[in-house]
Structures are given as structure tokens and as C-alpha cells.
Amino acid sequence: MSETITRPDPVVSGAQDILGTRGLLVDPEMIEPWLTDWRGRYHGKARALAQPETAAELSALVRLCARMNVPLVPQGGNSGMVGGATPDESGQAILLSLRRMNALRIDAATSTADCGAGVILQTLHEAAAAQDLRFPLSLGGKGSATVGGLISTNAGGTQVLRHGTMRALVEGLEVVLADGSILDLTSALKKDNRGFDLKQLWIGSEGTLGIVTRAVVRLIPAIAERRVAWAGVDTIHDARRLLLHCQQALPQALEGFEVIPRDCLDHVLVYMPDAQPPLAQRHGWNVLMEFDADRDAAASLGEAVENVLANAFESGLIDDAVIAANETQAEAFWELRENVASAERQRGPARQHDISVPVELMPDLLDRAEREIPEQFPGVEVVGFGHLGDGNIHLHTIAPQGVDVDEWERGDGARISELVYRMVTDHGGSISAEHGIGQDKLKALQETRDPVAMDVMRAVKQALDPHGLLNPGKLVAPKG
Amino acid sequence: MSETITRPDPVVSGAQDILGTRGLLVDPEMIEPWLTDWRGRYHGKARALAQPETAAELSALVRLCARMNVPLVPQGGNSGMVGGATPDESGQAILLSLRRMNALRIDAATSTADCGAGVILQTLHEAAAAQDLRFPLSLGGKGSATVGGLISTNAGGTQVLRHGTMRALVEGLEVVLADGSILDLTSALKKDNRGFDLKQLWIGSEGTLGIVTRAVVRLIPAIAERRVAWAGVDTIHDARRLLLHCQQALPQALEGFEVIPRDCLDHVLVYMPDAQPPLAQRHGWNVLMEFDADRDAAASLGEAVENVLANAFESGLIDDAVIAANETQAEAFWELRENVASAERQRGPARQHDISVPVELMPDLLDRAEREIPEQFPGVEVVGFGHLGDGNIHLHTIAPQGVDVDEWERGDGARISELVYRMVTDHGGSISAEHGIGQDKLKALQETRDPVAMDVMRAVKQALDPHGLLNPGKLVAPKG
């Protein structure tokens, strides 16, 4: 009988020297939960889970990995949508958790927050609120999503219309590069023209060009007053006209503009049997709007919103509308919106597409998708909902009842996605508006994106991570 | 007697085939005016002046230059401050004017302008105004500065406080790369997470990474009402407190916050003998503020600004203040500010420093500069003025009377700049807030910037322009 002799992994022992035993987990049971993405679609292996506490520790780890040719897969809250934080199955990589780098300091005088990459979004919200300030970015995963992850994926959410994506809120950041050097770009300068804005490289690059360890983000005054309204309109074109109307009337106040088609609201009401429909009748499209004001603008908000909706009604833009009478009702409106994805998911297997086009083209694109997809794929249902104000719709295509799911996914499902991505590309749009590319959309990206743009991405990757050790298999590979 | 036989330059004849005779000037007299920067500090030579009309023509020209190893020096309005558009003296380069690419289309429905790189800023202002819209970036050279130049230098100006630099206004752009490929990023998507935001690479990179040929920029509603106020305060620290006060009270309205020290205003009043001082008495620092409102907020602006200033006066923040009674007086206030640089220049040779630090640190930095520079360089006068709201001051250090200017420039002048840049760097600031690097600050950049940041810049340059043919000798050279 032969014995297996396990030789110590020199990478692991080197990393342990740097991080200590608390900073480097090797126990498979401890690592296991982080090797699968939260939707359970991707699973990988890792030789260890590194949890550095400082940029200096991470720098030493990255140098070690560079020397020993070991890939690093950074991970924040592990709540991404595209498998961007899951390692491959080779077991070569070190999984890198930034969660222990969670120092947080609010500076009320400059309206900024200095956050470690591991700070959880909800924590940032609460710390800002305690100083009568607000970090104006929120999304479903706020209880787990980290600042580092939000930067690496240039996260969006429901307030982009007014405040932009994460990119617009990052004033400075610190990053550890592929060779282990630490680049400190946290000095929050309003103006700096020493060449192009370096920090942009690490916003939205999914950990493939360096590892964000810290950021200074912008805060704004807390909301003093809000109005949440629900309107029924006939068509998505009417919804777009209502959007323009609201933007022209109250450009500073309009924070959210979400659309939900009739059937989709029906599904939500089935999924949430205790919920009330906001309007007495069913309408072709439902629009959820939020208008916000800080202290100075609070007094006039209520009347202004009433006027805007009254005008929209009088000019025939909307069929019916209601303004939430209180915070409980406002929250109830938002809950309907927040449960759309779950309600749709419960109805059966679907392909989900997180797409954007210039806002003015979205109604046409939706029309086309609703017509052409069922034509070409009989029995498939098309549901588009979400952030119309940003030109960003989540387009779900639901498999016909009774199909073999795996087979459908590989066959018609894949072909439907190809069709959707072709339509989007025809409209000058993006196949990933807010979820990123990760491993999920890698092939679709290569198939749809302008080869010149892909070349630039590969050249920059080659320049900043020539050996391809940072989050390999995601977004982009080096050119060489 | 020997004869000089001039052989035809194959680069010139190749370029002429592509651009035609109108598109390629070789007559030295025609080219001469563009070979010197507008301040007359840099002079270069070029084998020809290329004036393509389309991105396709430019693409062919860039391919030719790549094949024949010929540098290209792009130029917009030739009104830059750092010699960034002037070729070197070798005569090898082709000077590339983008001025004929000046198509302009305003889209009122989407509040955007689609501009060729050669569109002049003033033209864009007028075209937007004709549709009751506004492009909220302005600067002294607006009659010559082009959209392409403004993007390549990430231009600032007096409205950055509210609307950001050029970077914040560019929604999309088209660029010709070093290999001649054309990258079209003009589809104006509010959300696009197909990796990092490529267009950021060409904003502020001074033509060293590619040549911007077209851009879609954001417009906002026209100003319906404005209030321009002038206040006298004791110290720069008081000015900073007044800034915070105004920002908290009227964050949406405050568009400009400029500071001018007492002596500096005196110099302007000497330089403009017909001008009136806005306030009866002299004050340590003068603050020029502009508050703007669009149609919807117009009615309440006047009273709001009066309240803000009354509160500031009552709480002792300001010693005296006046709100311009009409547009003529408002313009007169701004004229005082706009003539500061010329008034200072007339007083004699000076080193000018366009510096920024985090806004809250600027008062200390100014104190330190005013104290330390005359201590170490007796007879030198220090004048700091400008965009306090952005943490961006133009710090002029005026040579002692009677010195030999050239000698002073090379000796004490250079040492003063070193001292200023060291102070700025100590405060986490930038040696170039808005003017860029060009050839003027190349050495200072290399001496002061974090080597890790310089490495990243060089690596990206290497990736996108490996042979260093795009605007060589400016900003950054390839790594190799």
C-alpha cells in the first residue's frame, strides 16, 4: 500500500509568512463558501483564501504571486452577477478577499468618505446618514457588496439617473498593481491635469488591471423629503415621454424612473400575495418615480411633484397616477419593483440580459424584442423592465413551459441571447449596462464588441498585467 | 558652383495623395504662424501642415506616418499654455491641424452636441444658446480653443465648481489610434460596463495616445437668471469659510468662486484705469461669486443670494459685499477677474504656477508660499489668485525689479518653481491643475510625480503608441 506524501505548497507557506495564519485560510471548509457565486452558477477551486489587512500586506502577497506565477482572484461581497469573483477550476489561484480592509472615516467638512475596499455598502450608508449625509448609490446587494467590488464593477443601481454610476462618485483611490507596487491616488483634487486620469483604469476593470484597496468617495446632503409616485401609461413610448417631461420639469429632484410592463406587475402580485397594486386598473406600462430634495429644497417638493403629475395627466401623457401618501406606501411601491427579478425567476428558467442603448432608442428596441423574439422562438415570453431613465433595461426571455432546461439553455436560449446582443449592438448599445462581463459574458463581448475597442483593452491589460495573473479568465486577457 | 538638388519628400507626396493640395500645406509662410505657441515661448519646425477633413483621411495619414516613422503633432486652436501643440525643432514632424473637422449638430431632444474636433468653443456656445441650451465650460481662449483641444487637455475654466472639467461633459468620442484604426465611442450610453471606460484614456492625454476627431458633449438648460457678487474678506481662510457657507446654502446655484488678493486687485485697477473697484474700501482678499439658475429656479434666485450674503455678513464671515445691480456691472466684475493675469504680466517677468491641492488645504498652502518664497528669495513678490472653489490657484512669483530676466529665469526662477512644486506635492496636490504638462512641465512632472504613477503612464503610452509617434516630447514617452 502506497502512502501519499503531501509536500507543503511553497506558495501557501510564503503567503502564510506574509499574512499570518488568520490572514491565510487553507481549510477547505472555510474556503468553500467563497468558491461559488451567489447565484450558484459558477464554481471554482483555490489553493488558499488570502485576507490581507493592509495594502502593504497585499503588496507583499502580489509580489510573491508574481514571482511564483500564481493567479490572484479578488473578491468583495461575492454578490456579483457575472461570476467575476469566482476562480477557475484549476485550483492554481489564490482567492483574495478584501473584506478585512474595512476602515471607514467620514469627513463631513469635505463631504467625503475614506473607505477600505472591504467596507460594505450598507455600512457606508449608515455612517454617512449618522452625519446627515448620504452616499447616493444603492442596489439590492447592499448588505454584502463592498466598496472595492462596487468600484471594480462600476456599480449602478436605482439612483444613476441623478447621481451617476460609481465612477461619478469616486474622488480618489489606492490600488496595488500586478508587480506589487502601491499607487496612491487618494488625494481628492477637483482639478489635476498631469495627463489622463489614471484612476479611471481601475473603475470597471473587474480586478484585471490591479486591486483596489481604498477609495475616497463623494457624499451629498441627506434626503430631507421625498415623493414616490406610481403612474400607468399605455406604451413604453409614453413612458419615455413622461421621463422627458419629468426631467425637464424637475431635473434636480428626479432620482429614479423605473418601468414595469403590465404582465410583469401581474407576476409580482402573484409572487407577493399580500401586496396591493398601486392603481385600480391595469395599464400597459407602470412607471415608478422617485423625487428627492435635501433640506433647502424640501418645502417646495410636494407641490412641485403634484404639479408635474397633474400636467402630465392633463396633457394625456399618463392614464392614472398616485403619489405615495406616506413612507410606508413609498416603501411598498419600491418593494414591488425590487421583487420583479425574483417574481420572474420563480416563473421558470430564463435568459437575463442587462442591456443599454441611448435612452431615446430604448422604446424601439423593446418593441422589436417583444415582436421578433417570440416570432423566431415560439413560446418564449419577453419581459423588459428596469431603469428606463438610464437607457438600461433588464430583458428576461422566459423558456417555454416543459422544455428541458439545460438543453434549452445551450440551444434556443443561447441563440436568443445572440439575437438580443445583435439588436443592442445595432442600436449602438452595450451588452452589459451594469453587471459587467466577468466570465459570464466573455464570449458575447468578444463576438459583439468593435475589434478596435477589444484591441485597446487587450493592449492596456498587457501593459498593466503582462503575465495575466490578475483575475484571469475574466473580462480581458493580455494581448501577447 | 554646386547646385542643391531638392529631392521630393516621399512623406509629403504620400500625404498629398491622401489629403489633396488643400489638405496638405507645404508653403513655409502658410505654416509659420502655427509653429509658435501663442505666448511665443516655444518654436518648432514641421515638414508640412496636414488638415484632414474626415477621420478616414486622418486614418490614412496616420497609417502613412506609422509606416514611414514620421511623428505627428496635433493642434487645435493653438491657444494652450504649455507648448503642447508645438513641434520640436527637428522638422521631422507633420503638424496636424484638426480645424477643418468642424461639423456641429445640436440635438435638443437629448441635450447633446455632436462636434468635430475642430469646432471652436465660442461657436459651440452660440449654437447651444440658439436652442436655449448651454455648454457649461468657458475660458479665456474661447474664440480659438477647439473641442478637440479642450478634450485633449481636459480643459477647466471658471465653471468647474458646478459643472466639472471637460471630462465631466464628454459623453462619447471618436479617436484615431497610432496604427490608424478609428475607434468610435460616440454612442452616448448612460451605462456601459463592458470593462473600463475606454474614452477616459483620450481625455487629458494631450494627443499622446491617439487623436480625438469627434465628440458628443453634454448640454444643460440655458441660464435664465444670474447674480454676480463681490465680497471683501480679511484672509484666505475667511474666503474658504465663505465658500463652504455658499456651497451649503446654494449648492445647485453656485457656479463660480474666484479669489483675488488686495495687491492684485490694485494692480488690475492700475492696468484698467477706467475700471471701478466694486467695494469702497480695500480688503485682504476679494471674492467674486456667480450664482446661476435655469428657468425653473430663476424666480427665487435673487432673494436666495441676498439671504446668503446677509447671513455671511451677520455672522462676520465677510466685511462688505455688493451684488451687481445689472448685467453691465456683473460683466464689469468678471472683467476685473479676467484681467488679473494680464495686469500681473505687465508688472514684469514672473514664474506662473497653475497648481491645485485639496480645497481645504489651499489656505495653508498660500500662507506658506507667501511666507517662505520671499524669505528664501528676497525681493520676489507672490501673488495667488483664481479658482479657490476648485482648490486651483494660479500662483505668480514676480521677479525682483532690475534683474536680468534670462538669468533669473534659469536661476532663482527655476528654483522658486521647484520650491512651489515641492510644497504642492507635500500637500498631495498637482503641479498642473488645468494647463496640462505639454513640454513646459515635462521635467517638473518627472521630478515630482510618484514614480509608480509615471510607470503606469509610460506603460499605457507604450501600449497605445509603441513607436512614440503621437505628439512626441510632450507629457509622456513610451516605456521601452
- A244: which chain B residues are within 8 Å (Cβ-Cβ)? 109
Say if A114 falls within a structural domain: yes
- Express each pLDDT in B13-34 by its tens digit: 999 999 999 999 999 999 999 9
**Position B7 pLDDT exceeds 80:** no
User: What letter would DSSP give residue A83?
Assistant: S
Same domain membership, residue B237 and residue B181: no
**Position A427 pLDDT exceeds 70:** yes
Q: Tell me the backbone φ, ψ of residue B433, rounded to 5 degrees.
A: -75, -45
- B437: which chain A residues are within 8 Å (Cβ-Cβ)? 193-195
* Cα A329 to Cα B192: distance, rounded to the nearest angstrom: 33
Residue from the list B188, B391, B430 with its beta carbon closest to the beta carbon of A194: B430
* Cα B131 to Cα B44: distance, rounded to the nearest angstrom: 41
Same domain membership, residue B374 and residue B330: no
Say if B478 falls within a structural domain: no
Provide the percentage of residues in chain B whose pLDDT is more than 90.
89
Same domain membership, residue B247 and residue B216: no
Average pLDDT value for residue range B85-109 = 97
- Note down the domain range covering A274: 225-340
Min Cα distance B78 → chain A (Å) is 18
* Cα B111 to Cα B219: distance, rounded to the nearest angstrom: 5
- B183: which chain A residues are within 8 Å (Cβ-Cβ)? 450, 452-453, 456
pLDDT of residue B227: 97
Same domain membership, residue B238 and residue B319: yes
Residue A363, all three cell numbers: 422604446
Which residue from A minimizes the CA distance to B204?
Answer: A196
Question: A362 to each of A149, A358, B187, B395, how far by Cα in Å?
Answer: 28, 7, 13, 49
Interface test with A, best of B161, B170, B196 (most A CBs within 10 A): B196
Same domain membership, residue A264 and residue A191: no
Same domain membership, residue B239 and residue B185: no
The ipTM (two decimal places) reads 0.94
Parallel, antiparallel or unpaired: strands A72-75 and A94-97: parallel
- Express each pLDDT in A21-73 by its tens digit: 999 999 999 999 999 999 899 999 999 999 999 999 999 999 999 999 999 99
* Cα A378 to Cα A376: distance, rounded to the nearest angstrom: 6
Residue B60, all three cell numbers: 490614412
- Express each pLDDT in A360-375 by its tens digit: 999 999 999 999 999 9
B401-425 CB burial, b ≥16 within 10 A, e <16: eebeeeebbeebbeebbebbbebbb
pLDDT of residue A252: 86
**Which of these, A469, A471, A435, A476, lies nearest to A80 by C-alpha position?**
A435
Q: Domains in chain A: how many in total?
A: 4
* C-beta separation of A160 from A143 below 8 A: no
* Cα A384 to Cα A396: distance, rounded to the nearest angstrom: 6
Same domain membership, residue A168 and residue A125: yes
Helix (H) or strand (E) holding A302: helix A298-314
Same domain membership, residue A353 and residue A268: no
Average pLDDT value for residue range B272-278 = 96
- Express each pLDDT in B229-239 by its tens digit: 999 999 999 99
Same domain membership, residue B204 and residue B275: no
Interface test with A, best of B158, B194, B390, B467 (most A CBs within 10 A): B194
| Residues facing residue B36 across a β-bridge | B43
CB pairs under 8 A between A and B: 224
Whichever domain contains B358, its CATH number is 3.30.70.2740
Say if B287 falls within a structural domain: yes
Residue from the list A202, A432, A479 with its beta carbon closest to the beta carbon of B193: A432
pLDDT of residue A1: 45
* Cα B247 to Cα A64: distance, rounded to the nearest angstrom: 48
* C-beta separation of B93 from B12 below 8 A: no
Q: Do B192 and A432 touch (CB under 8 A)?
A: yes
**How many C-beta atoms surround the C-beta of residue A273 within 10 A?**
6
**Out of B135-139, B266-270, B292-296, B372-376, which region has the weakest mean confidence (pLDDT)?**
B292-296
Which of B155, B187, B221 is a domain's end point?
A: B221
Residue from the list A109, A183, A192 with its beta carbon closest to the beta carbon of B456: A183
Residue from the list A110, A203, A434 with its beta carbon closest to the beta carbon of B191: A434
Residue A339 C-alpha from the chain's centroid: 17
Min Cα distance B88 → chain A (Å) is 20
Say if B457 falls within a structural domain: no
**Position A179 pLDDT exceeds 50:** yes
pLDDT of residue B6: 67
B196-223 CB burial, b ≥16 within 10 A, e <16: bbbbbbbbbbbbbbbbbbbbbbbbbbeb
Q: Tell me the backbone φ, ψ of residue A139, rounded to 5 degrees.
A: -160, 170
Give helix A236-249 / helix A298-314 axis angle, nearest 10°. Answer: 140
Min Cα distance A222 → chain B (Å) is 12
pLDDT of residue B3: 54
- Express each pLDDT in A428-457 by its tens digit: 999 999 999 999 999 999 999 999 999 999
Mean of pLDDT over chain A: 95
Which residue from A minimizes the CA distance to B112?
Answer: A358
Say if B443 falls within a structural domain: no
Confidence class for position B97, pLDDT limits 50, 70, 90: very high
- B301: which chain A residues are within 8 Å (Cβ-Cβ)? none
**Which of these, B52, B48, B74, B73, lies nearest to B61 by C-alpha position?**
B52
Residue A463, all three cell numbers: 501593459
Residues 6+ apart with CB under 8 A from B324: B227, B228, B229, B230, B330, B332, B333
Same domain membership, residue A70 and residue A49: yes
Say if A443 falls within a structural domain: no
- Express each pLDDT in B31-69 by its tens digit: 999 999 998 999 999 999 999 999 999 999 999 999 999
Which of A340, A370, A390 is a domain's end point?
A: A340
pLDDT of residue B1: 45
Q: Do A160 and B431 touch (CB under 8 A)?
A: no
Parallel, antiparallel or unpaired: strands B48-50 and B24-25: antiparallel
Same domain membership, residue A197 and residue A135: yes
Whichever domain contains B307, its CATH number is 3.30.70.2190
pLDDT of residue A296: 77
- Express each pLDDT in A232-273 by its tens digit: 999 999 999 999 999 989 988 999 999 999 999 999 999 999
Same domain membership, residue A200 and residue A181: yes
Say if A457 falls within a structural domain: no
Residue A129 C-alpha from the chain's centroid: 22
**Distance from the first to the final alpha carbon of chain B:** 47
Question: B277 to each of A359, B170, B260, B285, B383, how far by Cα in Å?
Answer: 49, 38, 12, 13, 19
**How many C-beta atoms surround the C-beta of residue B186 within 10 A?**
18
Which residue from B minimizes the CA distance to A165?
Answer: B191
Say if B373 falls within a structural domain: yes
Interface test with B, best of A163, A194, A294 (most B CBs within 10 A): A194
Mean of pLDDT over chain B: 95
Query: What is the spatial order of strands in the sheet that B48-50 belongs to?
Result: B24-25, B48-50, B94-97, B72-75
Q: Do A196 and B202 touch (CB under 8 A)?
A: yes
Parallel, antiparallel or unpaired: strands B112-116 and A225-233: unpaired
**Position A5 pLDDT exceeds 80:** no
Confidence class for position B4, pLDDT limits 50, 70, 90: low
Q: Tell me the backbone φ, ψ of residue B339, rounded to 5 degrees.
A: -95, 5
* Higher pLDDT, residue B121 or A298: B121
Which residue from B minimizes the CA distance to A432?
Answer: B193
Average pLDDT value for residue range B452-469 = 98
Whichever domain contains A170, its CATH number is 3.30.465.10
- Express each pLDDT in B152-192 by its tens digit: 999 998 899 999 999 999 999 999 999 999 999 998 799 99
Which of A340, A367, A399 is a domain's end point?
A: A340
Whichever domain contains B84, its CATH number is 3.30.43.10
- B198: which chain A residues are within 8 Å (Cβ-Cβ)? 453, 456-457
